[in-house]
């Protein structure tokens, strides 16, 4: 029996890769409106990770499958963000229930979001002193509230298999370096090409005599490659 996709989930092929591919380096990752947490599960873990959801049943499901260095919290996203002590090294990813006016279906979540809750969330995230990404469908409300943010669109499907244009709003420039580059590539074909290329390079390096490996590593260190790439946490 085919498993039903979680409403609004980001596990769809090409969806989680696109989102992870705009995530800059960060030490703390906060995913509000966690649901089944496709992004949290698939991205490289940060030093600290938080997953927040208002639904106690979903939080209960996480108890036996929580990734290491991760805290799962049952509660309201805005209250959590308002009370969190930010240092500027965080990345917040918000995936709230989409505005009802932008959806083709009615109630699909146990805990829906009113328009007022969307406004409260948007008013909160625009004040956060860290990097933030939020998912949604296009709406006048989001467009106006996040008018100074960058935006990226991509094609996906709803849980019912209907084509839809997803929007990602984010308050930073697209990063030169990614927190997790394992999904780099605009589509499946490009991702596979890059993976195969990287694998060939690794295999060639591993096949070298130990002294040649040592010489290459020394030259890389001398050239400043490691210092330039110190963004890797």
The CATH classification of domain 15-181, taken from the options 3.40.50.150, 3.30.465.10, 3.60.15.10, 3.40.1390.10: 3.40.50.150
pLDDT in tens, 39-84: 999 999 999 999 999 999 999 999 888 988 999 999 999 999 999 9
What pLDDT is stored for residue 2 in this prediction?
41
Q: What is the DSSP letter of 149?
A: S
Long-range contacts of 98-101 (CB under 8 A, 24+ apart): 98/8, 98/135, 98/136, 98/137, 99/136, 99/137, 99/139, 99/141, 99/142, 101/139
Mean pLDDT rounded to a whole number for the chain: 88
Q: What is the C-alpha to C-alpha distance for residues 94 and 154, in angstroms, rounded to an integer? A: 17
119-148: b or e for each residue (b if 16 or more CB lie within 10 Å)?
Answer: ebbbebbeebebbbbbbbbebebbeebbee
Pick the closest to residue 53 from 70, 29, 28, 36 (CA basis).
36
Q: How, if at all, do strands 28-32 and 90-94 pair? A: parallel
What pLDDT is stored for residue 82 in this prediction?
97
What pLDDT is stored for residue 232 in this prediction?
47
**pLDDT higher than 80, residue 224:** no
**pLDDT higher than 50, residue 211:** yes
Pick the closest to residue 156 from 42, 24, 5 (CA basis).
5
Pick the closest to residue 17 from 232, 172, 166, 228 (CA basis).
166
Which of 116-125, 157-166, 190-199, 224-233 shows the lowest per-residue confidence on average (mean pLDDT)? 224-233
What pLDDT is stored for residue 220 in this prediction?
78
What pLDDT is stored for residue 3 in this prediction?
46
Average pLDDT over every residue of 20-24: 96
Which of 5-14, 18-27, 100-109 shows the lowest per-residue confidence on average (mean pLDDT)? 5-14
Contacts of 2 (CB under 8 A, 6+ apart): none
What pLDDT is stored for residue 13 in this prediction?
65
Q: What is the C-alpha to C-alpha distance for residues 35 and 52, in angstroms, rounded to an integer? A: 9
Q: What is the C-alpha to C-alpha distance for residues 179 and 232, in angstroms, rounded to an integer? A: 7
The percent of residues above 90 in pLDDT, for the chain, comes to 59
**Are the CB atoms for 208 and 181 separated by under 8 Å?**
no
CA distances (Å), origin 229, targets 25, 195, 215, 216, 224: 11, 20, 19, 16, 9
Confidence of residue 225 (pLDDT cuts 50, 70, 90): low
Domain ranges across the chain: 15-181, 185-228
């Amino acid at each position: 029996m085919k498993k039903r996709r979680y409403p609004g989930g980001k596990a769809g092929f090409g969806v989680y890769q696109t989102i992870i591919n705009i995530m800059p380096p960060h030490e703390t990752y906060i995913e509000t409106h966690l649901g089944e947490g496709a992004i949290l599960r698939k991205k490289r873990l940060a030093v600290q990770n938080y997953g927040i959801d208002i639904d106690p049943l979903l939080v209960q499901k996480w108890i036996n499958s929580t990734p290491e260095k991760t805290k799962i919290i049952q509660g309201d996203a805005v209250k959590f963000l308002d009370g969190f002590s930010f240092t500027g090294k965080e990345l917040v990813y918000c995936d709230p229930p989409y505005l009802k006016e932008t959806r083709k279906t009615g109630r699909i979540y146990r805990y829906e979001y009113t328009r007022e809750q969307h406004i409260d969330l948007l008013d909160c995230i625009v004040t956060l002193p860290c990097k933030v990404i939020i998912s949604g469908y296009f709406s006048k409300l989001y467009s106006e509230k996040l008018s100074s943010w960058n935006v990226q669109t991509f094609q996906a499907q709803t849980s019912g298999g209907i084509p839809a244009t997803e929007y990602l709003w984010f308050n930073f420039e697209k990063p030169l370096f990614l927190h997790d580059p394992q999904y780099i590539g605009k589509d499946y074909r490009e991702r596979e090409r890059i993976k195969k290329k990287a694998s060939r390079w690794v295999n060639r390096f591993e096949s070298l005599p130990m002294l040649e490996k040592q010489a290459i590593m020394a030259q890389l260190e001398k050239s400043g490659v490691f210092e330039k790439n110190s963004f890797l946490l």
